[in-house]
Amino acid sequence: MSRNLNSNYIEKDHFNVNTEDSDYKDLIVKLKKIKSNIALLEKTIFK
């Protein structure tokens, strides 16, 4: 029984890591979009 519980914990930890990686990648994509929007705004303002 304890083996089964341990494997469940490992699976949950693995799932959490994948979720965190996915969240991190999504955040990076959003930050890159924000960066490009700021660059476009700067070009517009300083023309």
Per-residue pLDDT of the chain (47 residues; tens, 9 = 90+): 445 555 555 556 666 667 788 889 999 999 999 999 999 999 999 87
Phi, psi of 28, rounded to the nearest 5 degrees: -60, -45
Give the pLDDT confidence score for residue 1 in this predicted structure: 47
pTM: 0.57
**What string of DSSP letters covers 20-45?**
HHHHHHHHHHHHHHHHHHHHHHHHHH
Distance between CA 41 and CA 38 in Å, rounded?
5
